[in-house]
Chains A and B, each alone.
Chain A
Amino acid sequence: MPTKTRMSGNEAVAHAIKQINPDVMPAFPITPSTEIPQFVASMIANGEIDTEFIPVESEHSAMSAAIGASAAGARAVTATSSCGMALMWEVLYVAASSRLPIVMALVNRGLTGPLNINAEHSDSMGARDSGWIQIYAENNQEVYDNFLQAHRIAEHKDVHLPVMICQDGFITSHAVENITLWDDEPVRKFVGEYRPEHYLLKEDESMAVGPYALSPYCMEAKKAQAEAMKRARKVILDVASEFEKLTGRRYGFFEEYRLEDAEYAVVAIGSVCGTAKDAVDALREKGVKAGLLKIRVFRPFPAEEIGAALKHCRGIAIMDRAESYSAQGGPLGAEVTAALYRAQAVSKTVNIVYGLSGRDVRVEDMENVYESLEKLANGETEFPEYFYLGLRE
């Protein structure tokens, strides 16, 4: 029987790790993800799991140790945030290009500066081109469910890529909410044993990982990696459908909330989507056809599906919890706009940067976004190509 309980997002990830009982977890503490290795270390100390915890001296070492463990044939996980992941930068690419199925819990926090510890997507958005699969969560339940699906995706023979399971720092990582936990046995059966075909500690096979490659070989290797990211699309959906059979909870590339007949849509990632849903319901009561597209999978980016789901909308606000300093908006704005162009959409779009460094977003703020969209679509107002939500000016 599934257990209905309450816990924070960090506890939910730790519980998933407990159920998976991975072989190795190297980690270095950083706010707001610190609790994850802390909880896991306690579980190991209490004899609940037999994961090898490696207390490393930096995040660069954490990811390096995860790479070593994974190449050796172990199921490896780690957790980090913000500048912790920034310190992993170099080796994030090594993990992906070496095709190692590492799973990382990323508790999103802004990169400095100014120095701040709160929720922002600048850490993972910066790493969007590192070759990691990225899956985001709206709440504790989703980050738990996503983490349970991560190994299946990463370790699939058509994929062999690392996966980042993201949640919003503090907003979900430290908020206690209701959650349903799945039983240990079916979860273990679902996640399965990790049985790599090639690994460094394989007795009857010698292996080299991460060789130097000259120009005549590198492009071919990168193309092969890019194709694996394309193949991940099907695997992500297949794993989600199997997860639905186990739990009854449905996941895809994104969630469409009252989007089918929506005239005005918001596209966003993470915890703000719950707030947006309340705004959608309130506006629907008033007769405004508002809808939401909540991105779950950002890498691989489901451009075609997003284009098809949005192109009927008159006005679309694409919301980024990260500034990309491109002088023309955030990363989600750029990619969704490109998807709409390819879908030959004629919708009016605006890119909104919101919630930087934990800036709070209220239901009223989201209602204002929809109201602005109405004006934009009706030609009653012009917007700059992108602007900040709730900025003092």
Chain B
Amino acid sequence: MSLNAEFINENTKWQDLTEGLQIYEPGTSRQFCTGEWRTDMPVWLKEKCRQCLLCVPYCPDSSIPVKEKQREDFDYDHCKGCGICAKICPFGAIEMKRARD
């Protein structure tokens, strides 16, 4: 028997793991909330944003969702708070602050 990735954790027995730890489903990285690693967090200042979308391709963690050609607020489940988006924004529309404040 083998489990889907979402049911595998550090209590899973060897009998329940897949052969060679292979994974048979796509996009399992979504289940891994790297947002927890964040020490600093970006804050989106919507009123300053001109929707140029430059921040989107720069984000290393695909944590800036885009819908109908407009960016939305950060995906804080996966944003690691690296600050690249804040550096690259030409309009000062992203500010970094301490996470968990």
Tell me if chains A and B make direct contact, with any CB pair below 8 A.
yes
Which of A207-252 touch B at CB < 8 Å?
207-211, 213, 216-217, 219-221, 223-225, 227-228
CB-nearest residue of chain A to B9: A216
Contact A99 B26 (CB under 8 A): no
* List of B residues within 8 angstroms of A97 by Cβ: 20
Question: Is B69 close to A, CB under 8 A?
Answer: no
Question: Is A160 close to B, CB under 8 A?
Answer: yes
**Provided the pairs A217-B17, A220-B17, A221-B17 are in contact, do residues A208 and B12 lie with their beta carbons within 8 angstroms?**
no
Contact A208 B19 (CB under 8 A): no
Contact A206 B19 (CB under 8 A): no
Contact B17 A206 (CB under 8 A): no
Contact A213 B22 (CB under 8 A): no
Question: Is A98 close to B, CB under 8 A?
Answer: yes
- In the assembled complex, the Cα of A97 lies from the Cα of B22 at a distance in Å of 10
- In the assembled complex, the Cα of A225 lies from the Cα of B20 at a distance in Å of 8
Contact A208 B23 (CB under 8 A): yes
Interface of B is mostly: loop
Contact A220 B13 (CB under 8 A): yes
Question: Is B101 close to A, CB under 8 A?
Answer: no
CB-nearest residue of chain B to A160: B19
* List of B residues within 8 angstroms of A98 by Cβ: 20, 22
- Contacting residue for B24 out of A160, A206, A221, CB 8 A: A206
Question: Is A205 close to B, CB under 8 A?
Answer: yes
* List of B residues within 8 angstroms of A205 by Cβ: 24-25
Digitize B6-43: 1 where CB-to-A-CB distance is under 8 Å, 0 elsewhere. Answer: 00101011110101111111111000000000000000
A374 to chain B, nearest CB (A): 48
- In the assembled complex, the Cα of A204 lies from the Cα of B10 at a distance in Å of 29
- In the assembled complex, the Cα of A220 lies from the Cα of B15 at a distance in Å of 8
**Provided the pairs A216-B10, A220-B12 are in contact, do residues A207 and B17 lie with their beta carbons within 8 angstroms?**
no
CB-nearest residue of chain B to A222: B14
Contact B14 A221 (CB under 8 A): yes
Contact B22 A207 (CB under 8 A): yes
A359 to chain B, nearest CB (A): 40
CB-nearest residue of chain B to A213: B21
Max chain A Cβ within 10 angstroms of own Cβ: one of B10, B12, B14, B27 = B14
**Provided the pairs A99-B20, A224-B19 are in contact, do residues A206 and B26 lie with their beta carbons within 8 angstroms?**
yes
A63 to chain B, nearest CB (A): 16
* List of A residues within 8 angstroms of B8 by Cβ: 217
Contact A210 B20 (CB under 8 A): yes
Contact B14 A223 (CB under 8 A): yes
CB-nearest residue of chain A to B15: A224
Contact B25 A206 (CB under 8 A): yes
Contact B24 A198 (CB under 8 A): yes
Contact B14 A99 (CB under 8 A): no
CB-nearest residue of chain A to B29: A208
* List of B residues within 8 angstroms of A211 by Cβ: 21-23
Digitize B68-80: 1 where CB-to-A-CB distance is under 8 Å, 0 elsewhere. Answer: 0000000000000
* List of A residues within 8 angstroms of B21 by Cβ: 211, 213, 217, 221
Max chain B Cβ within 10 angstroms of own Cβ: one of A208, A209, A216 = A208
- In the assembled complex, the Cα of A93 lies from the Cα of B17 at a distance in Å of 19
- In the assembled complex, the Cα of A206 lies from the Cα of B13 at a distance in Å of 24
A51 to chain B, nearest CB (A): 25
Digitize A258-293: 1 where CB-to-B-CB distance is under 8 Å, 0 elsewhere. Answer: 000000000000000000000000000000000000
B68 to chain A, nearest CB (A): 27
* List of A residues within 8 angstroms of B26 by Cβ: 206
Contact B22 A209 (CB under 8 A): yes
Contact A224 B22 (CB under 8 A): no
- In the assembled complex, the Cα of A216 lies from the Cα of B12 at a distance in Å of 9
- Which residues of A are at the interface with B, using a C-beta cutoff of 8 A? 97-100, 160, 198, 205-211, 213, 216-217, 219-221, 223-225, 227-228
Q: Could you list 15 examples of A-B contacts with CB < 8 Å?
A: A98-B20, A198-B24, A206-B24, A209-B20, A210-B20, A211-B21, A217-B10, A217-B12, A220-B13, A220-B14, A221-B14, A224-B14, A224-B15, A227-B14, A228-B19
Given A97-B20, A198-B22, A224-B14, 9 other A-B residues pairs in contact with their CB atoms under 8 A: A207-B22, A207-B23, A207-B24, A211-B23, A217-B8, A217-B21, A219-B14, A220-B14, A225-B20
Report the 10 A-B pairs with minimum CB-CB distance, sorted nearest first: A206-B26, A220-B14, A208-B23, A99-B20, A99-B19, A223-B14, A216-B10, A98-B20, A224-B14, A221-B21
